[in-house]
A and B are shown apart, each in its own frame.
Chain A
Amino acid sequence: MDWSQSLRLIAPEETLSIASLVLLLMAAWGGDKAAKLISVLAVAALVAAGILVAPALCGGAMGAETSAFFGQYRADAFASYAKILIYISAAVSLVVAPAYFDRFKAMRAEYPVLVLLAAIGMGMMVSATDLLTLYIGLEMNSLAAYVLAAFLRTDGRSAEAGLKYFVLGALASGILLFGMSLTYGFAGTTSFAGISASMAQGLSNGALFGIVFVFAGLAFKISAVPFHMWTPDVYEGAPTPVTTLFATAPKVAAMALTMRVAIEAFGDQAAAWQQIVVFAALASIVVGALGAIGQTNIKRLMAYSSINNVGFMLVGLAVATPQGVSAMLFYLAIYVAMSAGGFAVILMMKDADGNPVEELSKMAGLSRTRPGLALALAMVMFSLAGIPPMFGFWGKFLVFKAAVDGGMIALAAIGFAASVIGAFYYLKVVKVVYFDEPADVVKGESDVWHKLILVGSCVVISPLGFLLTKWLGHLTETAAAALYSGL
């Protein structure tokens, strides 16, 4: 393992780092006038990084030759899969931003740069094979995210969201660090391979505490119950393009990170963390569903929906099999499409003056004033609820299939039954949009980019998405195999 090999493996991160630094300079000299140009270049950088990681995924890269910097970093098919989802999500949040921020005269040049920096952090998270790399990646992403949450500086809610996110995020990072220090103390190493080797010889109480704290910290990042409280406030307060980012890319990154930590570092002691994950999964499904019922703001509702969906994904992790991991990865891809579609609809709902409409009651009867938009929203909602033939069903199907094949039938049965609670509030949105008398508030013109994102994601979540199952299923299996090859 020499340096040139390592530097070659981190080419996507290098590309993004250089791009973000150059764009930062452009932003410093060009000012906010250059914001749109910088956005375009940032998207180009993300595309370039995506092209750089694609071969690893398609080729099914795995094993020792993907390891860089003496076991600190791994550019395997698993990381590449997650990175592609992250880059797509980041690009979506860049594309939808200008139309939204222009309204508040807040399209600053820093926005694309911050998104790029967050993307680098997230890329490091999913590639980390050492607790320190993990932490650096996580914090790099988080710092950018705190600023992004408070991006509308003059808006009280946005500032509140940023502050809340920061305080609670710092707390979670502390918990995570504490768990990592315990793990290091008992395993004597910070590398995942080393921890795994140490734990194969037995689990001491201290190491168990370490596992519990690491999982608690990670649960915060993926907003799993009982560490989910920040999510609705941050989702509601943050500017909608930023919420779009929060709902997609960091979820993918944190979820992939959790998978890697759970499987590669603690894989030999699966029994120790499986019950934590089972609890978090079921609790997230139920709390996410019940919490959403009373919401009147669609962004808060989407926040609870994301908690709910995280619960379903964790079912795949709880099984701790390659099939479960592959199902989770598939679910993540569908989840990104559903979230992107959902937030595109939210971005497109504007009143006659162009102000964003977020109250559910103001969307009443949308199907009569804006039938296309209403249809898209209904598709997203039925897909999130996992009703076939919408593609969202397939994600749930795969994780529960993995659970049944892995012998966790009770978990599958309870999880599925709880999904009916979730169906209730998704139906509520459809009811408001289709059954109620028109409130006739949503009148604003839609941006063409929003439309494109919406149409794209609707095609994916429509029954046509099932045509992707073979291809995407192959990719997720490759990625899962890569994750397990490190063992």
Chain B
Amino acid sequence: MSGFPILSLMLLVPLAAALACLYLDAKSARTVALLATLANLALGVVLWLNFDVGGAQWQFQERHELFSGFSYALGIDGIALLLIELSVFLMPICIGASWNSIEKRVGEYMAAFLLVETLMIGVFAAQDLFLFYMFFEAGLIPMYLIIGIWGGADRIYASYKFFLYTLLGSVLMLVAMLWMVHTAGTTFIPTLMTYDFDPQVQTWLWLAFFASFAVKMPMWPVHTWLPAAHVQAPTAGSVILAGVLLKMGGYGFIRFSLPMFPEASAYFAPLVWGLSMAAVVITSLIALVQDDMKKLIAYSSVAHMAVVTIGLFAFNPQGLEGSMLVMLSHGLVSGALFLCVGIIYDRLHTREISRYGGLAINMPRYALFFLLFTMASIGLPGTSGFVGEFLSLGGIYQASSWTALICTTGIILGAAYMLYLYRRVVFGDQKNADAAAMADLDLREYLMVIPLGLAVLWMGVYPESFIAPMRADIAALDARLARAEPEGDAKLAMGKEKPAHEEATAHEGAH
């Protein structure tokens, strides 16, 4: 595989298909989009198979000095690999979710989605600071169009809010990037990750990056664009938004904020913990009182993302690995949940919870999958949600036991709102005749939910497949953070092993 520009190819395939879709009619645009995303999925599989676990930190590197001021440099480590896999895995499902529900301007819609895929992969693969920024920002344009053209009734407001909120965060980040490049004299991300900036300045740089990533993540209290955007976006838009675009915030923290500004990260860790605690409790409570399904899941996303941030700012390998797993798991699960909402929305054209009820009777198979994803969202052992949340909370416990305590309530509250949602939609009486008449899953929908279900179980039962590629990278990051690590309040110490003979005597005494 060495030398073959597979990352460029993965950028090129959806881009070329996007251009083609602009000129195609509805039917062929759908086919082209599906084929392109499947091709990219295949490339993703090849990428993973050829990724040398435990090998060089940066693999599949490409570098061309095409431009002045920055270079076209791609390359991935384990963290980026997993997020790329998530993107390419979700994309065919998004296309499938839009197969019938999008009827107007199909070519443009598919083009926008494929463009989003290109940009997402670009964000995770970029090794040049400004190249990263361009991919990061450019994603706004297609998402703005997707929400604005194919969204629900209040789409204009949502699209503006999405665009301007995220843009304001990003421009401050760009100023910080300019300063960093001016000081460090390079735009190459791996070099910057080991460059020691003056701790005084780090504070400002960290805040500028935080402005961007906190909005993207989104963290409370700058999360308000998310429910608006989710509710108005078409199903596939929500899937990709929750599944991958939110991960750009977490990826930003793990790639930039933590390794580049360790001192500032430690300095601001209590702020992040505070915001995360607030987010977990407040947004979970808000989710509890929603009567719009998509809004409920959107708020639950904010709560889950807060678990990601506490894991990231726990400054230990458990926390970091946990937050990565929460991100991957949340990508699958929230995507799947939005898909489940989309499936019944396509039939009844309402997201209001009270319009449904008793779906277990007429849609038993749907109820089964919905239950699986609900449980994964709650974090039931055996599903993907459990592993990540457990590691994340275990990590933060070492740093701040209060934060761990409060954030763990999120699991209880999460169970409350998810089960309450499930009960109202799937169990109970069939109050509404039209909801009772809905047909169960068809083949297309099976093809979408089964892979998601399998992935959720895989990640829950054998998370090692996902931890292995990133273990070395997390360890490197942890070593980098060690010098700034805040002293935890838990002060965990390994229990002293009792001497063998004492144990033996104790046994004898018991007899």
> Which residues of A are interface residues toward B (Cβ below 8 A)?
367-368, 371, 382, 387-389, 393, 397-398, 400-401, 404-405, 409, 412-413, 416-417, 419-420, 423-424, 427, 430-431, 434-435, 466-467, 469-470, 473-474
Contacts and interface: CB of A to CB of B under 8 A. Distances in A.
B171 A435 contact: no
Contact of A431 (B108, B148, B172): B148
Nearest to A419: B171
8 contacts: A367-B105, A401-B69, A404-B182, A420-B171, A427-B163, A434-B148, A435-B159, A474-B68
A420 B164 contact: yes
A461 B185 CA distance: 28
Contacts of B130: 397
Contacts of B172: 413, 416-417
A284 B502 CA distance: 82
B175 A400 contact: yes
Given A423-B167, A427-B163, A434 B145 contact: yes
Interface string B115-143: 00000000000000010011101101100
B167 to A, nearest CB: 5
Interface in B31-69: 66-69
B178 A417 contact: no
Nearest to B208: A413
A461 to B, nearest CB: 13
A165 to B, nearest CB: 35
A416 B145 contact: no
Interface of B: 22, 66-69, 105, 108, 130, 133-135, 137-138, 140-141, 144-145, 148-149, 155-156, 159-160, 163-164, 167-168, 171-172, 174-175, 178-179, 182
A404 B179 contact: yes
B167 A420 contact: yes
B507 to A, nearest CB: 69
Nearest to A423: B167
A474 B67 CA distance: 11
A47 B172 CA distance: 43
A400 B174 contact: yes
Contacts of A382: 141
A398 B174 CA distance: 12
Contacts of A371: 22, 108
A388 B132 CA distance: 11
B155 A417 contact: no
Contacts of A389: 134-135, 138
Contacts, number: 90
Contacts of B66: 466-467, 470
A119 B427 CA distance: 78
Contacts of A409: 175, 179
Which 10 pairs between the two chains have the least Cβ-Cβ distance? A388-B134, A416-B171, A404-B178, A473-B68, A469-B68, A470-B68, A469-B67, A435-B148, A420-B168, A388-B137
A462 to B, nearest CB: 11
A74 to B, nearest CB: 27
Nearest to A436: B156
User: Which among A398, A405, A420, A469 has the highest number of chain B CB atoms within 10 Å?
Assistant: A420
A413 B175 contact: yes
A388 B148 contact: no
B125 to A, nearest CB: 15
A426 B93 CA distance: 33
Contact of B141 (A387, A401, A412): A387
B140 A405 contact: no
B67 A416 contact: no
Nearest to B105: A368
Contacts of B22: 371
B178 A400 contact: yes
Given A368-B105, A400-B178, 19 more contacts: A371-B22, A371-B108, A387-B137, A388-B134, A397-B69, A401-B69, A401-B182, A404-B175, A412-B178, A416-B171, A416-B175, A417-B168, A424-B164, A427-B164, A431-B148, A434-B149, A435-B155, A470-B68, A473-B69
Nearest to A385: B167
A427 B175 contact: no
B48 to A, nearest CB: 27
A405 B182 contact: yes
Contacts of A427: 144, 160, 163-164
Contacts of B179: 404, 409
A416 B174 contact: yes
Contacts of B137: 387-388, 393
Contacts of B140: 387
A349 to B, nearest CB: 20
A413 B22 CA distance: 37
Contacts of A398: 69
A157 B71 CA distance: 49
Contacts of B168: 417, 420
B160 A412 contact: no
A423 B67 contact: no
B49 to A, nearest CB: 31
A478 to B, nearest CB: 13
Nearest to B165: A420
Contacts of A420: 164, 167-168, 171
A232 B163 CA distance: 27
A194 to B, nearest CB: 36
Contacts of B178: 400-401, 404-405, 412
Contacts of B182: 401, 404-405
A286 to B, nearest CB: 14
A393 B159 CA distance: 21
Contacts of A417: 168, 171-172
